[in-house]
Amino acid sequence: MFNWLFSALFRLFGWRIDGKFDYSLKKGMLIVCPHASWVDFPVGVGARASLGVKMGYWGKAELFKPPFGWFFRALGGFPVDRSKSNNLVDGIAKIFNTQEELFMVITPEGSRKDVEKLKTGFYYVALQVSIPVIMVGFDYPGKKVVLAAPLYLTGDFDKDMGAIARFYSTIGGVQKSWIKNYLETAKSK
């Protein structure tokens, strides 16, 4: 819906995509960092439209309430109720297992504030369903959306999170506590 408009606005505001999307993939979990401001959403929608890949996303349930809930759903959103302990990983894994093609986007920081650790649901879903994690970095100083090659998780949490942190440490303008923490943990092993 309105992909041409979002793609045009993305380019008009000077943004570009750096990296290649693997169009041979049928499924994937895209993680986007940093989650720094409300601007992340329009930049992400513009990047998605420019790639021409149908992707959904998970967002906090509050976004999906009136008066704008219809808008976030129309753009492929699914609400996540973070106030309840409801086996979300298994539920999302089940959704992936029932679909032939599915790409979903999540901001694992879970907040626009600096965090010490990422929310790890994306990791356990990707591991359970055997799909790659595709890291997406928002380089605000360079006005580019950086795509990493698909990362197939090993099941060694510290090693995998170290690889994720190394990628995000290369994104312009990203200085987050969680990157330092995961790099230090991976190095000490």
pLDDT of residue 77: 84
pLDDT exceeds cutoff 80 at 86: no
pLDDT of residue 174: 65
Counting beta carbons within 10 angstroms of the beta carbon of residue 60, is it exposed (0 to 12), middle (13 to 18) or buried (19 or more)?
middle
d(Cα 10, Cα 45) in Å, to the nearest integer?
8
pLDDT of residue 137: 95
Residue type, 41: F
Closest Cα to residue 147, out of 159, 136, 160? 136
Contact 179/186 with Cβ under 8 angstroms? no
pLDDT of residue 83: 67
Given pLDDT bands bounded at 50, 70 and 90, which one contains residue 52? very high
pLDDT exceeds cutoff 70 at 24: yes
Contact 56/104 with Cβ under 8 angstroms? yes
The pTM assigned to this predicted structure is 0.87
Name the residue with higher pLDDT: 174 or 64: 64
Burial letters 134-170, b for 16+ CB under 10 A, else e: bbbbbbbebebbbbbebbebeeebeebbbbbbebbee
Mean pLDDT, the chain, as a whole number?
89
Given pLDDT bands bounded at 50, 70 and 90, which one contains residue 1? low
Given pLDDT bands bounded at 50, 70 and 90, which one contains residue 65? very high
**What secondary structure does DSSP assign to the chain, as a single string?**
--HHHHHHHHHHTT-EEES---TT-SEEEEEEE---STTHHHHHHHHHHHHT---EEEEEGGGGSTTTHHHHHHTTEEEE-TTS---HHHHHHHHHHH-SSEEEEE-TT-SSS--SS---HHHHHHHHHT--EEEEEEETTTTEEEEPPPB---S-HHHHHHHHHHHHTTSTT---HHHHHHHHHHHH-
